[in-house]
């Protein structure tokens, strides 16, 4: 059976939650493969809104849900999320949720360090959520991380905490921040271990069994391609690989099992936090898009920066991420505009570029080249077929397809899952 990977094709917040929920009904297993509780997905199911950060979206549908080894897990945040979702009638059991035993943990010290470093950076701050995701990934590659499996071994925890704090307390001293008490941290971990360990599993083996039973797997990405630690607007990026190539590595399957790659992008562009944003609007049009699109972060509540659709950036995401088709969201936010603009290239230092440069200084200097298209006065909200869309909206979508060199496989016209126009079923490929 075909598998599908869903990834963001912009700077995150593209509406992956609704699309993943829509696809999860067709899937048997849903896997989160990167990121932490800095990412948020909002799902609206039967009129009920669920806000998920660490939990895969499949839990709402009762599908086997897996947190892969590529995710950094804050066990306290996870338990709080399980409790919150439980209050909405969704019971999370070890039969429903599996956590990779080799996933690395986010500890309280990571958030403490994250916030201390951002504060020390002043105006040069990256704009992290302060939840410790970056420091946790640093510990992972620095080979000093505490993993889920370590919670079952007190002696290992003691030695690992000592090694961990030898590094981090030195950094905290240099920042003038409060140092971490190793004994208190050990106590915290021993207290939470019995609550987390029942969910621990050999995920790569579990997914191999799934493959042999020919079940459909949905790999759920967080954030977006332009926040990828390698391919994004570095250093204003997240600390993991957000492109589809990490779906295999972050869950323990081979690249051939990832299957169809569906990229999610809005009919315009948004970004949260610091960093370059060539098509950002600082006028009443940008404010109007933000207001109509309810552009506030699911996790942080921060207002998102808004701008015109950047076809250069999305095309780059398509190429780098191996995206087979696009799910285009929120065209209804553009209803009522007399004209719309699409960025088709950049000007930078006397050159015309058809890609987003890697250099931080060049990224800050690029100026968008726009193509102007007519808008539409009719409503697209809730449309469920192409014939329900205004002709100008169809032309806008077709032009996006041409510029990003990928088809629109799915069009989302409201937060409700039924308000979706399916052009190509990713699972049927």
Specify the pLDDT at position 115.
Answer: 84
Specify the pLDDT at position 112.
Answer: 86
* Residue 305 bridge partners (DSSP): 271
Residue % of the chain over a pLDDT of 90: 78
Specify the pLDDT at position 300.
Answer: 63
**5 has a pLDDT exceeding 70:** yes
- Residue 130 or 50, more confident: 50
Q: Indicate the pLDDT class of residue 44, thresholds 50, 70 and 90.
A: confident
Asked if residue 268 lies in contact with residue 334, where contact means CB atoms within 8 angstroms, the answer is yes
**97 has a pLDDT exceeding 60:** yes
Residue % of the chain over a pLDDT of 70: 96
DSSP 214-279: T--EEEE--S-GGG-TTTSSTTSS-SS--STHHHHHTTT--GGGS-EEEEEEESSEEE-SSS--TT
- Long-range CB contacts for residues 299-302, cutoff 8 Å, separation at least 24: 299/37, 299/38, 299/39, 299/40, 299/53, 299/129, 299/131, 300/129, 300/272, 302/272, 302/273
Specify the pLDDT at position 103.
Answer: 98
- Kindly state the DSSP code that residue 387 receives in the 8-state scheme: G
Mean pLDDT of 371-384: 96
The enclosing H or E element of 186 equals: helix 182-196
Specify the pLDDT at position 127.
Answer: 62
- Long-range CB contacts for residues 291-297, cutoff 8 Å, separation at least 24: 292/333, 293/266, 293/268, 293/330, 293/333, 295/13, 295/270, 297/13, 297/40, 297/272
- Residue 378 or 22, more confident: 378
Which residue shows structure tokens 């912009």? 10
Ramachandran angles phi, psi of 241, nearest 5°:
-85, 120
Of 132-141, 172-181, 298-307, 375-384, the least confident: 298-307
Specify the pLDDT at position 85.
Answer: 95
The Cα–Cα gap between 169 and 343 comes to: 46
- Kindly state the DSSP code that residue 344 receives in the 8-state scheme: E
**326 has a pLDDT exceeding 70:** yes
* Residue 296 bridge partners (DSSP): 303
**40 has a pLDDT exceeding 80:** no
Specify the pLDDT at position 323.
Answer: 97
Specify the pLDDT at position 284.
Answer: 94
Q: Indicate the pLDDT class of residue 176, thresholds 50, 70 and 90.
A: confident
The enclosing H or E element of 338 equals: none
Specify the pLDDT at position 48.
Answer: 85
- pTM summary value: 0.93
Phi-psi region of 121 (alpha: psi -120 to 50; beta: other; left: phi over 0): alpha
Q: Is residue 328 helix, strand or coil?
A: strand
Q: Indicate the pLDDT class of residue 49, thresholds 50, 70 and 90.
A: confident
Mean pLDDT of 79-90: 96
**280 has a pLDDT exceeding 80:** yes
Residue 144 to residues 30, 139, 141, 217: CA-CA distances in angstroms? 29, 5, 8, 31
Both tokens of 11, joined, read 């700077």
Annotated active-site positions, please? 13, 41
Mean pLDDT of 299-317: 90
Specify the pLDDT at position 42.
Answer: 80
Q: For the segment 123-170, what is each residue's pLDDT rounded down to a tens digit?
A: 666 666 778 899 999 999 999 999 999 999 999 999 999 999 999 999
Q: For the segment 177-217, what is each residue's pLDDT rounded down to a tens digit?
A: 888 999 999 999 999 999 999 999 999 999 999 999 989 99
What is the residue-averaged pLDDT of the chain? 93
Other beta carbons within 10 Å of 214: 8
């Amino acid at each position: 059976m075909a598998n599908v990977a869903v990834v963001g094709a912009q700077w995150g917040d593209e509406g992956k939650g609704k699309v993943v929920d829509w696809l999860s009904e067709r899937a048997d297993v849903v896997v989160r493969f990167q990121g932490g509780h800095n990412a948020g997905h909002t799902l609206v199911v039967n009129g009920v809104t669920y806000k998920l950060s660490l939990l895969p979206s499949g839990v709402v549908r009762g599908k086997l849900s897996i947190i892969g080894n590529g995710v950094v897990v804050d066990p306290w945040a996870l338990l709080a999320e399980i409790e919150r979702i439980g209050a909405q009638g969704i019971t999370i059991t070890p039969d429903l949720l599996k956590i990779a035993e080799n996933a690395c943990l986010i500890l309280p010290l990571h958030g403490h360090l994250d916030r201390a470093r951002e504060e020390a950076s002043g105006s040069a701050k990256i704009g992290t959520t302060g939840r410790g995701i970056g420091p946790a990934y640093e510990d992972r590659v620095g080979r000093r991380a505490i993993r889920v499996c370590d919670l079952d071994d007190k002696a290992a925890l003691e030695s690992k905490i000592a090694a961990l704090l030898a590094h981090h307390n030195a950094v905290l001293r240099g920042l003038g921040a409060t140092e971490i008490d190793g004994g208190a941290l050990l106590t915290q971990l021993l207290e939470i271990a019995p609550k987390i360990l029942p969910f621990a599993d050999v995920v790569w083996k579990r997914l191999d069994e799934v493959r042999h039973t020919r079940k459909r797997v949905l790999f759920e990405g967080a954030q977006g391609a332009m926040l990828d630690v390698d391919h994004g607007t570095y250093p204003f990026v997240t600390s993991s690989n957000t492109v589809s190539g990490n779906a295999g590595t972050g869950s323990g399957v081979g690249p051939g099992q990832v299957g169809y790659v569906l990229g999610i992008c809005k009919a315009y562009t948004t970004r949260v936090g610091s960093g370059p944003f060539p098509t950002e609007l600082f006028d009443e049009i940008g404010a109007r898009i933000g207001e109509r699109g309810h552009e506030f972060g699911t996790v942080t509540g921060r207002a998102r920066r808004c701008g015109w659709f950047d076809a250069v950036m999305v095309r780059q995401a398509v190429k780098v991420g191996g995206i087979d088709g696009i799910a285009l969201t929120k065209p209804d936010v553009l209803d009522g505009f007399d004209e719309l603009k699409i960025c088709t290239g950049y000007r930078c230092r006397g050159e015309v570029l058809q890609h987003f440069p890697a250099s931080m200084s060049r990224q800050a200097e690029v100026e968008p080249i726009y193509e102007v298209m007519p808008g539409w006065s009719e409503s697209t909200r809730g449309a469920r077929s192409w014939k329900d869309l205004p002709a100008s909206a169809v032309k806008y979508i077709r032009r996006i397809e041409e510029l990003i060199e990928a088809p629109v496989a799915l069009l989302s016209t409201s937060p409700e899952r039924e308000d979706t126009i399916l052009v190509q079923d990713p699972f049927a490929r």
